Amino acid sequence: MSTNSIRKRRAWFWYRMLICIVVSATIQLVAPWWSLIPVAMLIGFFTAPMNKSPFLAGFLALFLLWACWAFWIDLENNSILSERVIRLFPLPHNSLSLILLTGFLGGLINGMAMLTGDIFRRFFLPEEEKYYR
Partner 1 sequence: MGRVLKFIVCLLITGALFWVYQNKSGEIPPIGKFFSPIQGFWNNAESDKSFTYSSSNIVGLKQPVTVQFDDRLVPHIFAKNEADLYFMQGYITAQNRLWQMDMQTRVAGGRLAEIIGPKLLERDRESRRLGLSWGASRSHALMMANPQSRLIATSYCNGVNAWISALKPADYPLEYKLLDFEPEAWTTMKTALLLKYMSNMLTGYETDFEMTNIAKLYGIETLNQLFPEFPDSLDPVIPKGTQFVRTDTIQPIHPDSTYPSQLALLHNPFSRPDPGYGSNNWAISGSRSASGKPILCNDPHLGLNLPSIWYEVQLHAPGINTYGASIPGAPCVISGFNEDVAWGITNASTDVKDWYIVTFKDKFKQQYLLDSTWKPVRTLVEEFHVKGQRSVFDTIRFTEHGPVTYEETFNKRHETVNMALRWTAHDFSNELVAIYQLNKAANHADYLKATNQFDCPGQNFVFAAANGDIAIRHNGKFVKRYKQQGRFLLDGTKSNTLWQGFVPDSDNPHVLNPERGFVSSANQHPTDQSYPYYYTGTYDYYRNRRLNRLLSNLQNAKPADMMKIQNDNFNLCASELLPYFFALMPVADFTTTEKEAARELKNWTYINDTDVGAPIYFQLWLDGFMEKLWDEFKVDQRALLAPSFFETWSYLKRFPDSDFIDDKSTTKTETLPFLILQSFRNAVKLADNWQTENPSKPFTWANYKNTTALHLSQQLAFSISNIQTGGNEDILNATSSRKGASWRMIVSPGSDGEFWGVYPGGQSGNPGSKHYVDFIDQWAKGKYYQLLFLKPGEKHKRIQHVNQFNP
Candidate residues 2, 88, 128, 131; the one interacting with partner 1 per rule CB under 8 A = 88
Query: Would you count residue 22 as binding partner 1 (CB under 8 A)?
Result: no
> Which amino acid makes up residue 95?
S
Query: Would you count residue 77 as binding partner 1 (CB under 8 A)?
Result: yes
- By the 8 A CB rule, do 47 and 8 touch? no
C-alpha 103/C-alpha 59 separation (Å) is 9
Sign of the Cα pseudo-torsion (95, 39, 51, 4, in order): negative
Candidate residues 23, 37, 42, 50; the one interacting with partner 1 per rule CB under 8 A = 37
Query: Would you count residue 127 as binding partner 1 (CB under 8 A)?
Result: no
Number of continuous H segments (helices) and E segments (strands) in the chain: 6, 0
Query: Would you count residue 80 as binding partner 1 (CB under 8 A)?
Result: yes
C-alpha 112/C-alpha 121 separation (Å) is 14
Number of residues forming the site for partner 1 (CB under 8 A) = 38
Q: Which residues bind partner 1 (CB under 8 A)?
A: 28-29, 32-34, 37, 41, 66, 69-70, 73-74, 76-78, 80-82, 84-88, 101-102, 105-106, 108-109, 112-113, 115-116, 119-120, 122-123, 130
